[in-house]
Amino acid sequence: MTALFDFISILYVLRALAVLVTLIRNWRPFWDADVTRADRALANQAAFFLLIPLGVFLHEAGHALATWSVGGTVVDFQWRVFWGYILPAGNFTPLQDWWISLSGNLVSIALGLLPLPLLLVVRRGIWAEILESFARQQLLYALLWYPAFTFFGFGDWVTIYNFRIVPWAELMLVFHVALLAGLFFLDRSRWAVEHRLGRNPALTAQHRQLAEAVERQPLAAAPLARLALFYAELGEAGQASRYVRRAERLDPNDSTLKLAQARLAAQQRNPVAADKAAQAALAAPDLTPQARASLTSQLAFNHMQAGRREEAISAFTEALRLTPDAHQLYHWRGIVRRSLGRNAEALSDFQAAARLAADPADKARAEQEAETTRKRL
């Protein structure tokens, strides 16, 4: 098992070096005041590949400190960048053994919680992105992924959840479940959503306008549905659902509401519900061309994910008829066409995507796909 972990760690180290090189090459634009989508993606990668190794080291240091605190010695301390272990030696009681196993994990949990109060101070900029990304990844590892190893019979949590250690194992279980529930509801809370929106001045201004429209028309479904659609587009399903429910009570047949329902169903990864909601929304007679294109695009992605490739191509084509400058639709239609062996058509799509893309990263991806497809002709 250690050989497998070493192999995975080596792969991660190589990826970390690539992230570091990218960070150095983009140093100035990464740290400037303008936080782009590429900056956010790089911050997410840096939080994992460059900061998680520090968390691994401190995790093992926590085990070592606990060993010394109960009079033991550390025979071996291994930090292998993305994983590690210590070998404690001593005449430990079951409770002391439990404490040694728990201590490193308490350090990991504390590290994941530490950025949360800092986010109250660091509200904008790339540091806010890094802090939240690190907190999210560290807590997912400490509270979910590592405890899951218990089901395979190894890892610290096998000892931590030894329920013969009464009442400490039981108390830890209560704390674990309560912390997971608290973090889940905190992440979906209005405060957390507004904090994330506050990092982007343009989104903050757009949200203010939508909220003011709701205040001006408190009995109209459409302003609430537009606010729900705003949240759904950002992936904030909890807030989107709240406004959808309010709009449904006012006018369940509102066309904007149907559009929001379709987008929310797509965000919730429910392909059957997403198809049904999109079809219902497309049946509305007063949809704008932009809304119709958005729904048709959604159907195209649903078809693609379900393996209905010809239907996906038809839907992408219809969406492009309505929005001929949408480079991403050309890109994904090219992906589907290439999967069917229609390489000449796919190459044309990728070339169109590269020509229309404004973001350099999107343009580079399309050009790479075009080059890959050209080799197949």
Q: How far apart are alpha carbons 71 and 139 in whole angstroms?
A: 30
Give residue-wise pLDDT tens across range 289-300. Answer: 888 888 888 888
Q: Is the pLDDT of residue 139 over 80?
A: yes
Q: How far apart are the first and last CA of the chain?
A: 44
In the chain, the percentage of residues whose pLDDT exceeds 70 is 99
- Residue 353 makes CB contacts below 8 A (sequence gap 6+) with 327, 328, 330, 331, 334, 362, 366, 369
pLDDT for the residue numbered 45: 95
Give residue-wise pLDDT tens across range 353-370. Answer: 999 998 888 899 999 999
Q: Does 95 or 34 have the greater pLDDT score?
A: 95
Give residue-wise pLDDT tens across range 98-120. Answer: 999 999 999 999 999 999 999 88
Considering the segment(s) 199-273 as one domain, its CATH architecture is Alpha Horseshoe (1.25)
Q: 132-160 b/e with 16+ CB inside 10 Å = b?
A: bbbbbbbbebbbeebbeeeeeeebbbebb
Give one DSSP letter per residue of 223-274, joined into a string: HHHHHHHHHHHTT-HHHHHHHHHHHHHH-TT-HHHHHHHHHHHHHTT-HHHH
Q: Does 71 or 277 have the greater pLDDT score?
A: 71
**pTM for this prediction:** 0.73
Q: How far apart are alpha carbons 223 and 28 in whole angstroms?
A: 40
- Residue 82 makes CB contacts below 8 A (sequence gap 6+) with 8, 9, 12, 13, 52, 53, 56
CATH for the 288-377 domain, from 3.40.50.1820, 2.60.320.10, 1.10.10.10, 1.25.40.10? 1.25.40.10
Q: Give the torsion through C-alpha atoms of 354, 329, 244, 208, to 10 deg.
A: 20
pLDDT for the residue numbered 97: 96
* Sequence ranges of the domains in the chain: 2-188, 199-273, 288-377
CA angle 259, 261, 262 (to 5 degrees): 65
Whether 199-273 and 288-377 share one fold: the answer is: yes
Tracing tokens 């693609």 back to the chain, one arrives at: 304
